[in-house]
Structure 1
């Protein structure tokens, strides 16, 4: 452990959490990687493992309207001219406490012209026999209501076989159709009869996905589960609560020479892409109010 990252361990699980972006850099079970890791001390490719806030996914052209006022945040995805994944991935989070199996990190989102709202966010990570538990709490410490959304950004690894051979189960009845060039929302469509219907576990094959899903089926305990399995018998899962009514799934398709389809991004989201404009499931944080979201990654 250094001042830049925090090692956690419980039983057969171990994790490394970085101060930059509150990212899960490594997560292992019996020394098997459950997520695509990234090297220490260097850049973090593709936002691996970070906490994404105060908006998940994209705002086209960085422009949005909230309470009748127009705002502009920086575009950081120039190829699609979008503001991507909020501010928190680039922040250095402060350690508030840690034990052998848990750590709490915090960061402050200070008012800026494009987002003149003040938030305090904490990320609590805890390992136990059920995997890595995460709780994100955002509190509005400012004097005006703030738009807000959050998601994780880990790329799951089912096992050593290629992603095309993994079996995927996604408990979602609807997906969000997007434009092919900028991946901007068009309309929702049922998964019935579509290649994105993974309600019954099946092999991913050559299917390319970079879409949000909704109409998610939660169990009696208020949890939903995505499960990935390797043909050799290994597996990994991600569970989340009703605070996240949306789920982004991405097969991590890349153009050569960038390594292709290294893992499956599974991102429970409180709101869909461009929610700052559409208002769909957007969290409105009033002054003094807080919002919690939880999820868990586990070996299957």
Structure 2
């Protein structure tokens, strides 16, 4: 059995993509054969969260504990080394294909309530290729009878071209970042990007900088869209874009894993509806009423 499950191949014009059953994961995305994301082999267990869907929360929940509806809940500690609940509940589950064409696939998963998250959600992920790139939509409907806390994000590692992160430049339209603890990467306070050397509002080389932080105070274009551009030395590259009002946060990670094959091979760009530990802080936390649906879309395209 293939560890990532069945593979769905998509194509449109100059773009191709592969989506997997496990995690509704984006395993490959190419433009004229050039990788736009760091992928993995079909017979390989997905490295970490590379290309996964993060729901019903992105990033970390401290100690896996949170209070909602007047009660305290305990989630599994899926990042045991740091004592956190990481990246939601659906990154390692099997999804079902609900609809498919040459350029589009929709996958669904029904999240079953359990003691740590006693809420029923119907989740739907849609991938669509067109001339503008890959459109990646995550939708959630609360099918339970009580309000449910919710957040979501994608987890692609963008690839600008030849080389690694050190060889690329970044344009990130964020004025603030979330300072974190060094050991558990939990939020401390919001600060200006200049204070940490994280000001990429004007494109500049990444070099050997380490980043694993959430950014906010995004500057959108006249169309309301925020864009993160990553470029290689030859001027080519990749862009991730989304409606800034829907995802006011974006996690950037330089994929630092010394000694591993995946060390700095791609730049994680994760537009988030809420910051880390939002189940505790309440910052930009979505609360889905019974029957309510929430949907948001990100686009990845070649430059």
Q: TM-score range by the shorter chain?
A: over 0.9
How many Å separate the matches in 2 of 1:195 and 1:3? 41
Residue number in structure 2 paired with 1:203: 205
1:293 aligns with 2:296: yes
**Aligned residue in 1 for 2:284:** 281
Q: Distance in 1 between matches of 2:212 and 2:76?
A: 23
Q: Aligned runs of 1:187-226 on 2, under 5 Å?
A: 187-226=189-228
Tell me, yes or no, if structure 1 residue 252 matches structure 2 residue 255.
yes
Question: Is there any run of 5+ residues in structure 1 with no aligned partner, and where?
Answer: none
Alpha carbons 2:178, 2:187 under 8 Å: kept: yes
The question of whether the paired residues in 2 share the 8 Å contact of 1:64 and 1:72 is answered with: yes
Query: How far 1:193 sits from its partner (Å)?
Result: 4.9
Structure 2: where are the runs of 5+ without partners?
none
Structure 2 counterpart of 1:8: 10
Q: Which residue of 1 aligns with 2:268?
A: 265
1:59-95: CA deviation from partner (whole Å, max 9, x where unpaired):
1111111121100010011110111001110111110
Tell me the alpha carbon deviations over residues 162-219 of structure 1, each in whole angstroms, 9 at most, x when there is no partner: 3112010001110000000000000000113531100000000111000000011111
Contact 1:161–1:231, Cα closer than 8 Å, also in 2: no
1:109 aligned residue: 111
Matches within 5 A, 1:54-203: 54-203=56-205
Whole-Å separation in 2 of the counterparts to 1:187 and 1:173:
14
Q: Separation in 2 of the partners of 1:201 and 1:194?
A: 16
| Whole-angstrom CA distance in 1 between matches of 2:134 and 2:200 | 24
CA drift at 1:257 = 4.2
Query: d(CA) in 2 for partners of 1:231 and 1:277?
Result: 42
C-alpha deviation, 1:139, in angstroms: 0.4
CA distance 1:259–1:51, change in 2 (3 Å):
closer
Count of aligned pairs between the two proteins: 299
CA RMSD of aligned residues (A): 1.2
How far is the alpha carbon of 1:255 from its aligned partner? Answer: 2.5
Shift of 1:33: 0.3
